[in-house]
A and B are shown apart, each in its own frame.
Chain A
């Protein structure tokens, strides 16, 4: 079975632009979570979706939004990009919602904001 896939792998944007990152979960997984990871820190939770509904949101500004589609894939959108948004964005899927389900991570999208 295919693991979690994310696209694109790398992305370069300029300040003020908007970006959309995509994630396809493992087949049969209904929960998708998004994390931001900057160098030297652990992943920071952004959103969790389960059965197409937002179940959790981290301490990120309203410029960050996400959605989950009927096939359980997900998009993360970031508007009005700032230099500080440069990071690795990880998507993780699980059969159900956390906290006890193992999270299966994708390879991430590396976003660079210039």
Chain B
């Protein structure tokens, strides 16, 4: 059974501060690692899909790194803004790569 785990479960950050959180996944039979942002009352929005060990992707103030050998990915947010408040989900394909297995999410709250 593929376990995708995220930490911390929740995080409160002051506006302007930078923050990061972690996604852990089994390193064997790795296919891809997805990051999504889910704002309240909206649909989950794709941030990144990462496939290569050592890959680093960036979208505005948000970036992510990937280590497939040790089974983790970090998501970084630089200079947090109130609009960054959301639940951040990571996901990796499960057995047979026919389904995405999601972590439980990191709920980020930016305090003005």
Contact = CB atoms under 8 A, between A and B. Distances in A.
Interface residues on A, range: 20 to 34
Given A42-B89, A97-B98, A103 B34 contact: yes
Interface in A27-64: 33, 35, 40-45, 48, 55-56, 58
A99 B42 contact: no
Interface stretch (B13-21, B44-52, B55-63, B77-85): B44-52
A105 B49 contact: no
B100 A100 contact: no
B55 to A, nearest CB: 12
B40 to A, nearest CB: 12
B98 A98 contact: yes
Contacts of B64: none
A102 B49 contact: yes
Interface in B62-112: 89, 91-94, 96-105
Interface residues of B, number: 28
B99 A42 contact: no
B103 A3 contact: no
Contacts of B43: 3-4, 90, 105-108
Q: Is the interface of A mostly helix, strand, loop or mixed?
A: loop
Query: Which of B6, B44, B45, B105 has the largest count of A CB atoms less than 10 A from its CB?
Result: B44
A56 B93 CA distance: 11
Interface string B8-46: 000000000000000000000001101010000011111
A102 B101 contact: no
B102 A44 contact: yes
A107 B42 contact: yes
Given A100-B51, A107-B43, 19 more contacts: A3-B43, A4-B43, A33-B100, A40-B104, A42-B6, A42-B105, A43-B102, A45-B102, A98-B93, A98-B100, A99-B31, A99-B97, A100-B31, A102-B34, A102-B49, A103-B100, A105-B43, A105-B45, A107-B42
